[in-house]
Chains A and B, each alone.
Chain A
Amino acid sequence: MIERRAFLAVAGTTLAGGVLAACGSGGQDDSNGIATETGAEQSTAASADVSILNQALAVEQRAVATYQTAAQHLSGARRRTAQHFEAQERMHVDALSQAVLALGATPTTARDRYALPPLSDDDAVLRFAMGVEQIAVAQYLDLIPKLSSQNLRGSFASILTVEAEHLAVLREEAGQEPVPDAFVGRGT
């Protein structure tokens, strides 16, 4: 029997604990929130999922760098928001990285530097962060149906939802309509 390990999302949440407990001893990882799935599922599908996980990981690494930069340019409550969002993006990075490792593959590494637009004021910083979040939302919507793992689809949707929430908060901060579309990702 081929043992297949799959990311189940939710590092650091109570749900992870519940799922980990429910998975039994045959297929679980450590306490980092990565639950595992044992079964005769195929390495081809797992390999495709690794590629998708690494695509998502690259998006998240970019988001971490974005909020690091944003926090350096912002102050007060906006800085705290950027730091809060950065911490959440780091949790996404950690969970995705561990999922790749659990599948026996190597997580993609973050770049040393990311291209930055001119960030002359708060509005520019907010626009930049919104752009990164819009790309993340579009990526997750594209990737979810391509995943072979049902658990991973749920996990990606849970991250997608958080990125959409970030986007709403940023839009509001920028004085825009925070939730302009009934379907996230359309028209953005």
Chain B
Amino acid sequence: MAGITRRVALRNAGGVTLAASAAPLLAGVRTAFAAATGDEETMLGAVRLEQGLVVAYRTLAGSSALDADAAALARHFGDQEQAHLDAVSKQLQTLGGVVPGEPAPEMVKAGRESLNALHTQEQLLAFAGALETNAIAAYYEAQQSLRRAEFLQTTAAIMANEGQHLALLREALHREPVPNAFETGQP
């Protein structure tokens, strides 16, 4: 029964972020997290998720649409996403898993939009916020499926860091930085 309850919870959680309009890449990651039957599958999902974030922030940081402060924020967050990617890749490899190749920028999408279709700073920061929201939802699910303590701690620490990114992105978009008492990745 507990397993059934968990699956129900995951199904509900899985429907609350980017929902039906989620991008191919990230939607795939979310699905992978929800369907993961073991730690290796879940950590592979985390690797793909972090790869998408690294590519996205790299693209943002190089965009002429961002002012100096926003570009610096993107570089800083991108560096932290790379640190996440390194950590989850290493943990995946300890399980015998193979790190996939990095996605092309056009494959990283949020909602209906892809990075290369966005032209203003506000659009780009909102895009990053949508990716962070999706990441939090995925890590929220991962906390309910992972078994190894070290993986739980790593992914929880990453999830909280993504929340910090999201709070600053909300601020940059003139929104309340911490609108929810429980951060589960709802948009």
Interface size of B as a range: 35 or more
Chain A residue at smallest Cβ distance from B158: A183
Q: Report chain B residues within 8 Å CB of A141.
A: 153, 156-157
Give the interface segment out of A67-75, A101-109, A116-124, A155-163: A155-163
Residue B57, interface by CB 8 Å: no
| Interface flags, A13-35, vs B, CB<8A=1, else 0 | 11100110011000100000001
Give the interface segment out of B3-11, B93-101, B111-119, B122-130: B3-11
Q: Distance (Å) between the CB of A163 and the closest chain B CB?
A: 8
Residue A76, interface by CB 8 Å: no
Evaluate contact between B182 and A11: CB separation under 8 angstroms.
yes
Docked pose: A8 CA to B153 CA in angstroms: 19
Evaluate contact between A183 and B163: CB separation under 8 angstroms.
no
Evaluate contact between B184 and A10: CB separation under 8 angstroms.
yes
Docked pose: A137 CA to B81 CA in angstroms: 20
Evaluate contact between B8 and A91: CB separation under 8 angstroms.
no
Evaluate contact between A37 and B5: CB separation under 8 angstroms.
yes
Evaluate contact between A40 and B183: CB separation under 8 angstroms.
no
Residue B58, interface by CB 8 Å: no
Evaluate contact between A22 and B12: CB separation under 8 angstroms.
yes
Residue B83, interface by CB 8 Å: yes
Q: How many residues of A contact B (CB 8 A)?
A: 60
Give the interface segment out of B19-27, B38-46, B62-70, B136-144: B136-144
Q: Report chain B residues within 8 Å CB of A83.
A: none
Contact partner, B161, options A18, A151, A154, A184, Cβ 8 Å: A184
Docked pose: A117 CA to B165 CA in angstroms: 30
Given contacts A144-B152, A179-B80, A183-B154, contact A15 B159 (CB under 8 A): no
Contact partner, B144, options A153, A159, A169, A186, Cβ 8 Å: A153
Q: Report A167-181 residues with CB < 8 Å from chain B CB.
A: 167-169, 172, 178-179, 181
Evaluate contact between A85 and B178: CB separation under 8 angstroms.
yes
Docked pose: A166 CA to B183 CA in angstroms: 12
Residue B186, interface by CB 8 Å: yes
Evaluate contact between A165 and B166: CB separation under 8 angstroms.
yes
**Which of B9, B153, B159 neighbours the largest number of chain A CB atoms within 10 Å of its CB?**
B9
**Which of A11, A157, A166 neighbours the largest number of chain B CB atoms within 10 Å of its CB?**
A157
Docked pose: A18 CA to B145 CA in angstroms: 19
Docked pose: A27 CA to B168 CA in angstroms: 38
Q: Distance (Å) between the CB of B70 and the closest chain A CB?
A: 15
Q: Distance (Å) between the CB of A9 and the closest chain B CB?
A: 6
Evaluate contact between B163 and A165: CB separation under 8 angstroms.
yes
Residue B76, interface by CB 8 Å: yes
Contact partner, B182, options A10, A27, A164, A179, Cβ 8 Å: A10
* Inter-chain pairs besides A91-B181, A158-B140, A184-B161, 16 sampled, C-beta below 8 Å: A13-B181, A15-B16, A23-B8, A84-B178, A154-B141, A161-B160, A162-B182, A162-B183, A163-B160, A165-B164, A168-B164, A168-B168, A172-B168, A179-B77, A179-B164, A185-B157
Interface pairs A-B: 6 shortest CB-CB: A39-B1, A161-B163, A164-B160, A145-B149, A182-B83, A184-B160
What residues of chain A have their CB less than 8 Å away from a CB belonging to chain B?
A: 4, 8-15, 18-19, 22-23, 27, 35, 37-41, 84-85, 87-88, 91-92, 95, 137, 140-141, 144-145, 150-151, 153-169, 172, 178-179, 181-186
A-B contact pairs, 14 of them (CB 8 A): A38-B1, A84-B178, A141-B156, A144-B153, A145-B152, A156-B156, A157-B156, A161-B160, A164-B161, A179-B161, A179-B165, A181-B80, A182-B161, A185-B160
